[in-house]
A and B are shown apart, each in its own frame.
Chain A
Amino acid sequence: MSAVYRGLYYGISLLPLLAGIAYALAYSLGLAGIDTQGFTTGYWVLVLRSQETWTSLLLSMSVALTVLLIAVPVGLILVLFYSEALENAVIRYLLFLPVSVPPLIAAFMGTEWLSASGMAGRVVSGAFGTVSPSLVNNYWHTGIIISMTMMSIPFLTILLWQYSRAEKLSGLAELATSLGATKRQILFRVAIPVLLNRALPNIGLMFVFLFGAYEVPLLLGMQSPRMISVLIAQKFRKFDLADIPQAYSLTVLYAFVVGIIAWMVSRTNRETA
C-alpha cells in the first residue's frame, strides 16, 4: 500500500514538473507546438551559441553566490556572538519579521531606496551634499544584490539559530573548553563547522531559489544582461514565434542546472545525516 501512496505523492509533486520539462524539450526540438516544421536542432544551436545564454547563467550564479557570501556570515555572526540578544522575543520578532516580505515588495523598496533620487540618495545628499550614483539598473547589479541579501539575512538567521539550538551548541562549546580548546578553536573548529554542515542542504536550496529569482531582477535589473528567469520569461512573452522554442530550450537548460545543484545538495545531505 505504501508504494501506492508514494507513487501518488511523486505523481502530484514531480510528474507535472517533469511533464512540463519534457514538453519544453519537445518544443525546443521542433516536435511540438504550433506551426512546427518537424525535428530540428536549430533552436538549440542558436541558444547554445548565444553569448546572452551563458552571460545570463553566469550572472545568475554570481549574484546568488554573492548574496550567500554576505548573508551567511551575517547570520553566523548574529547567532554565534549575539545569542543573548536573540533570546529576547521582541528583537527576534523584529529581526525575523522581514522573512515574510515578498520579493515583489523587496524589489519595489529597492527602486524607492537605491535609485539616484531614492531615499538612500536623499540621505547621502543631505549628509555630504553630493549626488549619489544610482544603485539600480547598473552594471554591477548592486541593487539586486542588496535587495536579495536583505531578504536572505532573516531567513538564514532563523535557520542557523534553530540549528544552534538543535545541536546544543553551548553544550558542545562547554565540552570543548573543558577539553582545553581556546575560544578561537571553538569558533572555527566546532561552532561554525557544526552549523554550516547542518545548514548546507538549506543553503543549497537557497542558492537555487536566488539563482531563479524573478521579481527583484525584473524591477532592478538592466535590459542586458538579464538574470535567467527574467530572460526566459521575456522570451516567452515576445510576439516573435521563433523566440518561443528558444525560451523552451533555455527552460530545459535552467532545469538541467537546477537538477545538478539539487543532486549535489542531496549528496551533501546524505553525508551529513
Chain B
Amino acid sequence: MRKYIFPVFIAFMLILPFLYLPVLSAAGAWKYPSLVPESWSAAHWDRLLASRDGILPVVTLSVILSGSVALLVTVTGFIFGRLLTGCSGKRQIQAAGYLAYAFSPVIYAYCLQFFFLKAGISGTIAGVIIVQFLLFFPFSVIYFISHWGRNMVSLEELCFTLGSSRRTAWRMALIPVSVPALRTAFLQIFVFSWFDFGLTQVIGQGRVSTLSLTVWQYLAEADPYIAAAGSCLLLLPPAILMLLNEKTIRFRP
C-alpha cells in the first residue's frame, strides 16, 4: 500500500485543478473564502451554448480544421517515413525536425506572417491549416521513420517475393499492419491542432475562431465561469481519446 501513496498523491495534485473546471462552470454564487459554491446554476452553460453566434459553429470549425490537419499530416508523414527509410543522415533529419518542432509556435508564426500575407492566405482557414501542417509535419515524419523499421521493409520485400505489385503490397499488407500506428499519429496530431493557440492567433488574425481561441477570448474578458465551461469542451476529446487509445496522447514532442 505504501508503494502507492506517493504516485497517487502526485496524480491527485496534478488532476485536482482540472476537476475544478466543471465545478466552476456550474457554480452560481461562489464568494471568497468558501471552498464550494453556495449555489449551482446552469446559466454559464446556457450562455456558452447560446453565446454570440453560438458555440456550435466554433466547435464544428475546430473539428473540421483539426481533422483535416491531422489527416494531411498523418498521410504525408506515413509516406515520407517510407521514402526516408534507408536514407543516410537520419540523425540530421531528426535534429532538423525537432528544431522546427521545439521552436515557439507564436514566434514561428510571426516569422512566417509576411509570406502568408503576400500569398493572401493570412486570416483564412487554409492559411491556418498550412501553418499547422508546416509545424506538425516534421513530428509525423520522425514518428513514422521509427515505424518503418526493419520489420516493415522485410514485409514489403516478402510481398514482392510472393509476386505482389507495389500497389497490392501497400493495400493488402503495409497499410493494414500500420493501422494502429496511423491511428495513434492521427489522434496525436488532432490533439496538437485542437489545442493550438499561437499559430492560429497570429496567422488566423482573429478571423479563424477555433475553440481554444474562443476560450482565450472569454479569459481576456475576465469571464472565468464561461471560460471554464469552454475549457470543459476543449478538454473532453483528448481525455476520451486517451481512454480509447492504448498509447498516450501528449501535448508536446
Contacts and interface: CB of A to CB of B under 8 A. Distances in A.
Interface of A: 2, 5-6, 8-10, 12-14, 16-17, 19-21, 23-24, 32, 74, 77-78, 81-82, 84-86, 88, 91, 93-105, 108-109, 111-113, 117, 119, 121-123, 125-126, 150-151, 153-155, 158, 202, 205-206, 208-209, 212-215, 219, 228-229, 232-233, 236, 247, 251, 254-255, 258-259, 262, 265-266, 269-270, 273
Given A105-B231, A258-B99, A16 B239 contact: no
Contact of A94 (B11, B32, B93, B112): B11
B107 A251 contact: yes
B3 A108 contact: no
Given A9-B141, A100-B248, A109-B20, 10 more contacts: A13-B137, A23-B115, A85-B6, A95-B11, A96-B242, A112-B17, A150-B13, A202-B253, A232-B106, A232-B110
A65 to B, nearest CB: 16
Nearest to A89: B246
Contacts of B238: 100
Given A78-B6, A269-B91, A98 B103 contact: no
A10 B248 CA distance: 28
A86 B7 contact: yes
Contacts of A95: 7, 10-11, 14
A6 B107 contact: no
Nearest to A262: B99
A17 B100 contact: yes
B251 A102 contact: yes
B219 interface: yes
B110 A251 contact: yes
Interface in B16-41: 17-18, 20-21, 24, 32-35
B80 A113 contact: no
A209 B107 CA distance: 12
B253 A20 contact: no
B102 A233 contact: no
A101 B34 CA distance: 27
Given A85-B3, A150-B14, A153-B10, A16 B20 contact: no
B65 to A, nearest CB: 15
Contacts of B231: 105, 108
B89 A6 contact: yes
11 contacts: A6-B84, A9-B138, A102-B212, A105-B215, A151-B251, A158-B248, A158-B250, A202-B253, A214-B104, A232-B107, A254-B107
A236 B104 contact: no
Interface in B176-216: 191, 195, 197-198, 212, 215-216
A200 to B, nearest CB: 13
A2 B86 contact: yes
A229 B97 contact: no
Contacts of B224: 108, 111-112
Q: Which size bracket describes the interface of B in this complex?
A: 35 or more
B3 A84 contact: yes
A101 B235 contact: yes
A104 to B, nearest CB: 5
Contact of A209 (B111, B134, B241, B252): B252
Contacts of B80: 5, 8-9
Q: Top 9 A-B pairs ranked by shortest CB distance?
A: A20-B111, A212-B104, A102-B195, A13-B138, A100-B238, A208-B102, A109-B17, A5-B83, A94-B11
Contacts of B99: 14, 17, 258-259, 262
B108 interface: yes
A150 B198 CA distance: 21
Contacts of B8: 85, 91, 94
Interface string B234-247: 11001101110000
Contact of A121 (B14, B33, B106, B197): B33
B103 A212 contact: yes
B18 A109 contact: yes
Contacts of A32: 114
A154 B242 contact: no
Contacts of B251: 99-103, 151, 155
Contact of A258 (B7, B32, B103, B106): B103
Given A99-B251, A105-B234, A153-B14, A214 B242 contact: no
Q: Max chain B CB contacts within 10 Å: which of A14, A100, A265?
A: A100
A113 B108 contact: no
